[in-house]
Chain A
Amino acid sequence: MTTPLLEVRNLRVQFPTRRGLLTAVDDVSLTIAPGEVLGVVGESGAGKSLTGAAIIGLLEPPGRIASGEILLNGRRIDNLSAEEFRKIRGREIGAIFQDPLTSLNPLYTIGRQITETILTHLNVTPDEAKQRAIDLLNEVGIPAADKRIDHYPHQFSGGMRQRVVISLALAAQPKLIIADEPTTALDVSIQAQIITLLKKLCREHGTSVMLVTHDMGVIAETADRVAVMYAGRIAEIGPVAEVIHHPQHPYTVGLMGAIPNLGEEVERLTQIDGSMPRLNAIPTGCAFNPRCTRKGEVGARCTTERPSLMNAGKTQAACWLYSEGAATNTTNTPQSVAA
């Protein structure tokens, strides 16, 4: 296996509050290979955005990385100073956020914002930077880029703004892009355009992407591998087709069944009763155990001991059903939803 571009080892993000320490991301480990698209899905509060923010060094205080390591190309980046991190952000890791209106500065023309990024990180003249900005805007499909470069963000529509944000993320040719809900604020037809664009550009530039979203459909279209997060932990990680067609973790099984699917007629959707625990009340053992329909099958372990990721089918799931002691259960694969 090639060396990963990004490696996250046992990352833990905590928030000290008056009522005690809240662990929002708990012991998350993942890798992203060069050119790979890793999807991170989960419901709100699962810790997916915070994982992305920790990697790019944008955790807002009082949130902080309590333990764990983040390595970019084998070099630790989680302990860099703010000044040192600024050189990496944009240059080596680009970012795309959900709301294109708030991630662009309304007071500067988009051209100025893109050339600023290029001039900060690359050794080029202002004229070259401007030319590169126009090329980038052309590449992301903005018509009449040489004129539009002097326009302000409010003069663009939502989809066009998100295209500008993508060109901004690509401006300094980073090797990794963290895309946090890049299409959530957009209508379906525009969403399809943006996903297609993002996929095409990353393939052409060989950029790796960590795609954070709550939309399984977007992941299915885009990602190579997917990590499913629940209550700050990774519940299941594996190749996207496997996770979607043969989910192993009971949470993923429930989640896939809960998504209404076109062309499939079901009278009732699979329902996961209850809701995700609050951060100050995460149950002991497996965080999913109060909602899990299969927790009786492997004894009391689920409520006492926290499972780590175990091989389950072709994916890895953090579930005691797949521990070696419970080997008989692995043959009893949970019913696949998208058969």
Chain B
Amino acid sequence: MKNSSVLLEVRDVAREFDVSKPWLNRVIEGQPKSILKAVDGVSFTINRGETLSLVGESGCGKSTIARVVCGLYPPTRGAVIFDGVDIAKASVNEQQQLRKRFQMIFQDPYASLNPRWRVGKIIAEPLVAHGIMTEKAEIKNRVDQLLTQVGLSPQDQEKFPHEFSGGQRQRISIARALSSNPEFLVCDEPTSALDVSVQAQILNLMKDLQREFGLTYLFISHNLAVVSHISTRVGVMYLGRLVEMADTKTIFNRPLHPYTQMLLSAIPDLRMTGKQRTPVAGEVPNPLNPPSGCTFHPRCPHANDRCKTEAPSMIVADDGSMVSCHAVEEKRIPIKLAA
């Protein structure tokens, strides 16, 4: 499988969290365990050099996927296969080798940098942890180089994180992620804590680095405009399931799933074309007690009896786009072409 175009495969991954009350309370109140299915049967692949984005509203499981992919959470079911190797089944040695090859950038640049460490030490941590470099001078050179690459100055390595603004801190996070020369970066809402002008700087930087180093990104965001700018392909998640996935142009011009259509029409229209928006009624249901059948049916304008009882499966089209919806399968939804 080596050297194929697929870098990462996520195969039917599910992740559950036990959110029950303490054992004694459960026994006294006679309540069963409550299990939250944060991610339920998600499969996708990421090709080398592309950016795959996952979008969805809060609680849809997109960050959980990011963490499962990075190995921060073990999956309850399913497998994550990186470059042909199943991460969970790999030996400890192999796992360590794999770990060097992917890194993560987190949302909050205020929480993801150790406030007591100097920036130089923060950036060098992956180098030291993986034993890539041991010589002090060599490490310093590498950190200088990384800081320059992300648009900071080599002198900055003597400073502490609090001396930097949010955007600069996110640059430090990126420098740290790049230090072990990874091929794959998982970015969990890397710009949502930043102002728009700083967001533009970071997005431009990420695109430049991708071009320079041939990086592959898994990009998690709730902002569809950002996603449309940065992605090659986009997956839309709802209540722990992938509802639609297609390349960026297709999904924004011809969304198939009613939830994707709803998300797209909910974005404030900056160009003010006067397009009438259809705000969708209802809210995301409680994931502890998700609706039967297709989980979107209580909010869906096209739902019928089949949607209420039978969970839809993924329909894969010729061009590789996927959608999971009975109404699409039965051609009950007129295809909307965006202007």
A interface residues, Cβ below 8 angstroms from B: 43-44, 157, 159-160, 187-193, 195-196, 214-218, 220-221, 240-241, 244-245, 254-255, 257-263, 266-273, 275-276, 338
Contacts and interface: CB of A to CB of B under 8 A. Distances in A.
A262 B279 contact: no
25 contacts: A43-B195, A43-B196, A43-B198, A157-B283, A187-B284, A188-B222, A188-B224, A189-B280, A192-B279, A193-B280, A196-B277, A215-B268, A217-B269, A220-B270, A254-B197, A258-B199, A260-B200, A260-B226, A260-B229, A262-B252, A263-B339, A271-B197, A271-B200, A272-B200, A275-B198
A191 B165 CA distance: 28
A272 B197 contact: yes
Contacts of B58: 187
B166 to A, nearest CB: 8
Contacts of A221: 268-269, 272
The interface size bin for chain B is: 35 or more
A257 B199 CA distance: 12
Interface in B260-292: 262-272, 277, 279-281, 283-284
Interface of B: 57-58, 165, 167-168, 195-201, 203-204, 207, 222, 224-226, 228-230, 252-253, 262-272, 277, 279-281, 283-284, 338-339
Contacts of B281: 193
A273 to B, nearest CB: 7
Contacts of B268: 191-192, 195, 215, 217-218, 220-221
B263 A214 contact: no
A191 B270 contact: no
B196 A275 contact: no
Contacts of B57: 187-189
Contacts of B277: 192, 196
B239 to A, nearest CB: 13
B167 to A, nearest CB: 6
Given A220-B271, A221-B268, 18 more contacts: A159-B283, A187-B57, A187-B284, A189-B57, A189-B266, A189-B283, A192-B277, A196-B279, A214-B195, A215-B268, A217-B268, A220-B268, A244-B272, A258-B197, A261-B225, A262-B252, A269-B229, A338-B270
A44 B195 CA distance: 7
B225 A271 contact: no
Contacts of B228: 260, 262-263
Given A43-B197, A255-B196, A260-B228, A216 B270 contact: yes
Nearest to A278: B165
Contacts of B338: 263
A235 to B, nearest CB: 12
A189 B204 contact: no
A189 B271 CA distance: 19
A293 B203 CA distance: 20
Contacts of A255: 196-197
A44 B166 CA distance: 11
A224 to B, nearest CB: 12
Which 3 pairs of residues, A with B, have the shortest CB-CB distance? A217-B268, A258-B200, A260-B229
A271 B228 CA distance: 18
Nearest to B164: A275
